[in-house]
Structure 1
Amino acid sequence: MSHRPAHLHFSQGTLWLMSLASGASVANIAYNQPLLGSLAAYFHASPAQVGHVSVASQVGYGVGLLFFLPLGDLLERRRLVVGLMGACILFLVAMACAPSLPLLVALQFCVAATAMSAQILIPMAVEFSPPEDGGRVVGTLMTGVLGGLLLGRTIGGAVSDAFGWRAVFAMAAAFMAAVAVAIEFRLPRHAPSREMAAMSYGRLMSSLWEVARGRPKLWTSSLVSALSFGSFTAFWTTLSFLMADRFHRGAAEAGLFGLVGLAGALAAPFFGRLADRIGSGRAVSLALVLGGVSFVLMGAWVTVPGLIVGVLLMDLGVQAVQVAEQAKIVALLPSARSRLNTIYMVMRFGGGAAGSLVGAVAWSLWQWPGVCAVGIALNTLAMAVHAAGREKRQAG
């Protein structure tokens, strides 16, 4: 049974604060992407070597999800969120002082591992909302998540060009500190149920498999989202290389493309309502088509206008997949929302890490056509997995 205290109510203002906190946290895995060209020059490293920063970001986030996110079912969530934010702030300060690329990679891993507060806040918000509003609530918080991912790139690029790459991480630490204070004073306390509070961490972790077993919807949704997000990270990991190589532009210009993708973040509540209305299956099918078309367009029309249109379509598609699939996942078992979200998000960011790595390799071997081919292939495979999952459910 879901633990839903009648007295706890999230106003729209609280939901938007949670959305802001989600964006501030997740931005920490995106600040590095427009900086890769600058980091390569500063540390005298190759594109493949500095690409390890982005890979560490995705892998670290996945590790944080695996080991910290289940605690959302076990601990008081406000305290957990503020604690993770505090650790993230310390690692960001250390990043701003990092003297070498290997240390920067290691610290980016640590920052990302503690930057997953959004995935604790999303199940919390859904739990205390009417079931019919699940898509809208996820969409509201996902506006912050995708906004953080995209504006993180824009802000990171602009700050780096103006003050240097170290200032990016110092600024991020200050912003996180302000948000952590707001969360501490504005977010209501949310204690776990007595049954969950009595569970040990080891038992909680071992229960992940029990929660996931026999739920094919969870595995299908997670794999589809992983493939979609992999195409997204392949693009953003290599965009700064394309901007420098073809257009002779720097980190600020690469980061400005995040403003284009912001349309996808602002459309998140719409996608949530669309998934509630027409069903998540149809919404995901439409989103994957948008994702595939975006890479066809960016591969054939390699100009700034072509990239702008492509980024818009790509971000709309990735956002719609995320909102529809996550709303579906957290509704499968109300008493285990954080653990379901753990499995889903670990797979999603595993796909993101693979996308970053494959994108960097594709750039090294085949330049931009190789990156676009990776994006097309990943979206096509996601369509096949999604279609197979729907057919299996209909047959059953």
Structure 2
Amino acid sequence: MDKYLLFTPGPVNVAENLRVAISKEDICHREADFDALLASIEQKLLSLFQIRRRGRYRAVVITGSGTAANEAMLSSVVGKGRILILSNGEFGERLHKTSLIHNDRTHLIEVPWGEPFNLLEVEAYLMRHKIDVVAMVHHETCSGMLNPLAQVGAMAKAQGAIFVVDGVSSVGAEMVDLEACNIAFCSSSSSKAIGSYPGLSFVIGRKKQFRKLKAHKANTTYLNLATFYDFLKARSQTPNTPAVPLFFALEQALTNILREGVSKRFATIRARAEQLRWGMRKLNLEFLIDEQDMCSVLTTVIVPPSVKVGDLRDRLREKSIIIYEGKGCFQGKVFQVGNIGEMSKFDIKFFLQTLREVLVTLQTEAADLVVPIRPAEPSPALITPLCGALASTAP
């Protein structure tokens, strides 16, 4: 094939019209051209989130990965308050590590990777402690688990805390209802389910929460959300030089989603996931977590006992297919198959067929190492009688 098929949670294969968009003519980020571009992106983001009371929300766009957006939130919204991080995977741990850098009063509820939170324990913790901000990852990419926004948001609201969500790998594939789930701020990235190039992220939030940020001492220069909001509100610009070509591509990616229809896009991604999971179950593969707990972005698959995940990844790469290996406590035990970005039904069929062939080859090779396959040879004791018997029956 003439390109890699990225069966990953991001970066992804992009649509052809994004390749055109990123090559548009140069513009200055301090001119009206960029003001209009940023305003268009913001309105499209509000549409992507299907916000009903749009006038209450704004979205700032940051030149930086999803981690930049998360650090912007964690370094800007807490001030002298107390923040509780809920962690059940790699990216929950990253939220905690980032918060510790900026916030002295960081609390943590941690459960093993890939396990759901005990919501009764979370509620009890919030009732026992004065918490001002609750932060959680929506989709834990390391396991594929989708964490519950509505329940945690309701608990935070009941205790007078604001709710901050890392939506980096779920936005564009799963519904994130900012209003119903009482979410004050939500982050995401251009290069995952939204389907654009890496390098941009954004934070969408309530205006009244953005306005409160001025009361907090700035912990960073580049990632101060209050500064981003001021530049957006006053000038429809960013405080620092943006990656303008990536803004053109992001606007085109959002246009593609809205043209298809947000609900239809979600359904398309979910159908891809179901097709892949059906095909992998037919190969007798097992999944790390229950399907009811999975996000529609990817599937985390347990590696068969006789297969090394590195070998599997290498053999698939030879066929132009890229997958993820497991990380941390899942390293060597699982592989991950994403289904976002530009991906056709033929691509999925090709993946499943190739995966079957590669698994059969690897399992056969592993069996040969244990019991080498050799042609059967008759023992010397049997050769003479057998030949004699044949000779005696000859005419």
Higher strand content, 1 or 2: 2
Higher helix content, 1 or 2: 1
TM-score by length of 2: 0.30
TM-score by length of 1: 0.30
When Rg is computed on C-alpha atoms for both structures, the one with the higher figure is 2
User: Which has the bigger relative contact order, CA under 8 A and spacing at least 6?
Assistant: 1
